Chain A
Amino acid sequence: MDMAAQPILAVDGLRKSFRGLTALESVSLEVRRGEILGLMGPNGAGKSVFINVITGLYPSDGGAIRYCGRDVTALPSYVLARLGIARTYQNIRLLRRMTVLENVLVAIKDHASQPFRSLFVRNRSGGVAAAMALLEQFHLADKADRLAGTLAYGEARRLEIARALAGKPSLLFLDEPAAGMNERETEELAATIRTSHRLVEAIVIVEHDVAMMRGLSDRLVVMDSGRKIAEGNPADVLTQPNVVEAYLGTDGADD
């Protein structure tokens, strides 16, 4: 099989509704190996629902999700995490009562299938070295022993991305990583995301910040009312009339 040609993620006709309200109406898209895909759209467009269904938080009502050619439509989130689909959350979710280092260690792959061997502290030093290397890349090494709950906002965001990368995923979803950040923090974040891109095969970013998306994304997908309304390179997509119209209505108000 030609691995390069096969998309890392292929979503076909994904549907989801909540008590009769349609959140996703047959959304199809591909994530290609090596790319950063931007996913934009006004509030209520279905971006977050889309990510949540893909990553196993909500069951889908129809359609198929294929990851590396394998059907993963009905798998629970922790299995998807082990298969290599990682994500971050709009509201940061760290283990606040554990240290920065432990947050990464917990997420490091190798514990999964060894219920009793993990008792015997094997792999520990190797895990710590890998975790510290990751923290180094995200400029958090000096805070390794602090409780995650004490980090500043930007640091916590970096740790969350580092944590997501700890399991050596192939595909990384970032759900509104710049939410609540000022311009300088957003620039730092873009650098962090570029660092991350070297460690994974593909990244999907959901974000409102148009400038950041234009700068980072290889391709953009725009959603509105649970449907995909545009797809292509950022410069083209952002000037499409239906995209401009979809955004003018709500003018990028955050949720």
Chain B
Amino acid sequence: MLVEQLINGVVLGSMYALIAQGYTLIFGVLDKLNFAHGEVFMLGGFVCLASIALGASLPVAILVAAIISGLLGLMIEFVGFRKFRSPDAHITAALSSFAIGLVIIDLSQKVWGAEPVALTLPGTLQTATVSIAGLNIVVLRLAILVISLLLMFVLYGVVVKTSLGRRIRAVAESPAKAALFGINVTRVNQQVFFIASAMSGLAGLALAVRTGYANTDVGFTFGLKALAIMAIGGMGDLRGALIGGLLVGVLEALAFQWGLGQLADVFVWLFMIVILLVRPAGLFGTLISKDVRA
């Protein structure tokens, strides 16, 4: 049924958007891609799994996943980006973050194996449905959608309205100028990595809870898709990541609706190519390069 597929698409899209927002936030501020971002997403699912296995309730597991993912982000910032500040260090930072991602995958597989691990929550949360306008919708999916949108709304508010947000935007415009304004650029980078990684981990948790599995493969596929979403939405733009994520989620759902599920990934990449041909900077991007003079 089309409407149900669309709802599934929006829910999937909200998880895409959540991981893409962190990706794009880091890119917007540091002008560098964090290729370990997808693996933070992946690990979020396993942290949830481990917390539940240790007897934690879901809210506690969510909190633990957010904190551990955030701390992992701090580690990635320190190991993969701290030394590679120069605008010329794109490739070094990309490679080192890529390497960190591979290490995370490898260690996760050592602990949990390469096969998907079932994640079953106590109670009926994963199966309970609610009937809205004649449609049976899994409550969990609605919750994921609402919480994801809420998190993104809060992040946008923080960036636009708060003093932390002003510092983030100042560093995004020019780290050198931000330092002149008395801003500790390293501290802002850490804050950005913590926030972005916590969001990514929560998105991974949402995926694991929704599908009922934690899987060491998902970081790579979702990480790549988040890259496509960033490009579609406009690199470094939070609104672009949200809209791009939802569009890609819906597109995949439609592919399934039309019986072309196996081509869903192809659709996403073709969609990205078309968008970039029409708007090279993405939907919201301006291709304004960072002010590197000051």
Contact = CB atoms under 8 A, between A and B. Distances in A.
- Does A associate with B in a complex? yes
Interface of A: 76-78, 81-82, 87, 89, 91, 93-98, 102-103, 105-107, 109, 111-112, 115, 118-121, 123-124, 127, 163, 167
B184 interface: yes
B285 to A, nearest CB: 14
A78 B158 CA distance: 23
Given A105-B166, A106-B167, A124-B162, A78 B183 contact: yes
Contacts of B161: 121, 124
Contact of A81 (B164, B173, B182, B288): B182
With most chain A CB atoms within 10 A of its CB, the pick from B177, B179, B180, B291 is B180
A79 to B, nearest CB: 9
Interface string B151-164: 00000001001111
Contacts of B182: 78, 81-82, 107, 109, 112, 167
Contacts of A94: 177
B184 to A, nearest CB: 6
Contacts of A119: 158, 162, 164
Interface string B40-84: 000000000000000000000000000000000000000000000
10 contacts: A81-B180, A81-B182, A82-B182, A95-B177, A96-B173, A97-B288, A111-B163, A121-B161, A123-B163, A124-B163
Contacts of B294: 89, 91, 93
Given A96-B173, A96-B291, A115-B191, A102 B180 contact: no
Contacts, number: 77
A118 B181 contact: no
B180 to A, nearest CB: 6
Given A78-B182, A167-B182, A98 B166 contact: yes
Given A106-B183, A112-B182, A95 B164 contact: no
Contact of A118 (B162, B177, B180): B162
Contacts of A106: 163, 166-167, 170, 178, 181, 183
Contacts of A107: 181-182
A44 to B, nearest CB: 22
Nearest to B190: A115
Contact of A78 (B163, B164, B174, B179): B179
Contacts of A102: 166, 169
Nearest to B293: A91
Contacts of A95: 169-170, 173-174, 177-178, 181
